[in-house]
Amino acid sequence: MNPPFLRFLKTGLPRRQFLRHLGAGAAALSLTGGCRRLTAPDARKVQPIRGSWISIGWDDRRHFYWNDTCLSFTDAQWQLAVKDVADLGFEYLVLLAIAKGGKAFYDTPLLPKQEMACADPIGALLTGGDKYGVKFFISSDWYAEWDWRALLDADRVAKRLQMMTEIATRYAAHRSFYGWYWPNEAHLSPYFTDDFIRHVNACTREARRLTPQAKTLTAPYGTYQAVNDDRYVRQLEQLEVDIIAYQDEVGCLRMTPEQSAAAFARLRRAHDRVPQRALWADVETFAWEGPPNKQTSPLIPAPFERLRAQLEAVSPSVDKVLIYQYQGLMNKPGSPAFAGHPDSTKLYTDYVAWLRRGRRAQGLTTPPHSPS
């Protein structure tokens, strides 16, 4: 690993902030380092993607290629964005935030509303999920910037719980409202902090009160430090969450696919001792356009060869594979809900071709839903 990268490993930043410190030079390493090739795609061995994160709006240039487009989406386009991932066989979407940059994506007395073409994008997404059979995990947060106060400040905690109540009241009747996502990401170092465990448990208890049947999900980073020991197993037992989707950190350059495989194998052994905590992967599909260590570096699609190696790495160990993310980085050619980098159609078509080859190897003729 290069020295600047090692310095950033010590920062303890969550991915959504860590991303700001990397750029194209770092991306070049991610495109080539440690990527193993599959000689024959085989869905019996390598899991397909089952879901993705999605955002309504963001407040920095990492989402440069799709942010303005998504803020201009109509109700119909948000629903079509859900159809596009359903046609690709995705079962889940994880809404990254219900507010960002001090502005909410729904009507609330707590914050001013983000200016958008669609009056209710959260409702539009969930309506799309109802129509096309996609299950949503809805974020609980981003009332304000991510920092220590997100977990510990009493006012922030109270406002988070108020927003959860508002979200449940407005949207929980949708069939597609499947669960909640706790977006204040934990840093494995290699253990969770007590503050993070208390935060997750408080959120989950409130979710059970508001939506008793809903599942809960969180997505820690620091996966490169993952351990399987008695202390970590005890923490898994204490952590009241249904699903942990660990970031594979290949896009962030913390791991190669080979290192990811080893880390997820360790996590598999730990989760086997606490089977009530489902183990999923959060595979990073991005590379970088800008120079290294710049906060203004847009995300661009990683080459499929790297993504394929990432899927191969995590598949033996996890229950399901999610990605960060489809939006902006994969696009169905000609979609009315196109949003993102021009090269996103290539990542999409390469993935569809791989799916088809894998299904033909099983004697099947088309991928699920047969995307055109």
Would you say residue 370 lies in a domain? no
Would you say residue 354 lies in a domain? yes
Would you say residue 338 lies in a domain? yes
Residue with tokens 């980085």: 329
- In sequence order, the β-bridge partners of residue 38 are none
Task: Look at the alpha carbons of 76, 82, 84, 86 in this order and tell me if their dihedral is positive or negative.
Answer: negative
**From CA 316, how far away is CA 314, in angstroms rounded?**
6
Q: Residue 43 gets which letter from DSSP?
A: T
Would you say residue 366 lies in a domain? no
User: Is the preceding peptide bond at 291 cis, omega within 30 degrees of 0?
Assistant: no
Q: How many CA atoms lie within 13 A of 335 on its CB side?
A: 30
**From CA 330, how far away is CA 342, in angstroms rounded?**
9
- The CATH number of whichever domain residue 262 belongs to comes to 3.20.20.80
Q: How many domains does the chain have?
A: 1
Taken as a whole, the chain contains a residue count of 372
SS3 of 51, please?
A: strand
pLDDT at residue number 127: 98
Exposed e or buried b per residue across 6-39, where buried means at least 16 C-beta atoms within 10 angstroms of its C-beta: eebbeeebbbbbbbbbbbbbbbebbeebbbeebe
pLDDT at residue number 39: 33
Residues 80 and 336 sit within 8 Å (Cβ to Cβ):
yes
**From CA 140, how far away is CA 171, in angstroms rounded?**
13
Neighbour count for residue 97 (Cβ, 10 Å): 23
Tens place of pLDDT for every residue, the chain, 372 residues?
Answer: 333 333 333 344 454 444 433 333 333 333 333 333 333 334 448 999 999 999 999 988 889 999 999 999 999 999 999 999 999 999 999 999 999 989 999 999 999 999 999 999 999 999 999 999 999 999 998 766 666 677 778 888 899 999 999 999 999 999 999 999 999 888 999 999 999 999 999 999 999 999 999 999 999 999 999 999 999 999 999 999 999 999 999 999 999 999 999 999 999 999 999 999 999 999 999 998 975 335 678 999 999 999 999 999 999 999 999 999 999 999 999 999 999 999 999 999 999 999 999 877 766 555 455 443
**From CA 79, how far away is CA 64, in angstroms rounded?**
22
Task: Of 169, 242, 239, give the one whose Cα is nearest residue 210.
Answer: 169
Helices (H), 88-193: 121-132, 149-152, 154-171
Q: Are strands 215-218 and 177-182 parallel, antiparallel or unpaired?
A: parallel
Structural domain harbouring 355: 3-361
Would you say residue 62 lies in a domain? yes
Which phi and psi (to 5°) does residue 53 adopt? Answer: -75, 155
- In sequence order, the β-bridge partners of residue 138 are 180
Residues 89 and 133 sit within 8 Å (Cβ to Cβ):
no
pLDDT at residue number 250: 96
Would you say residue 368 lies in a domain? no
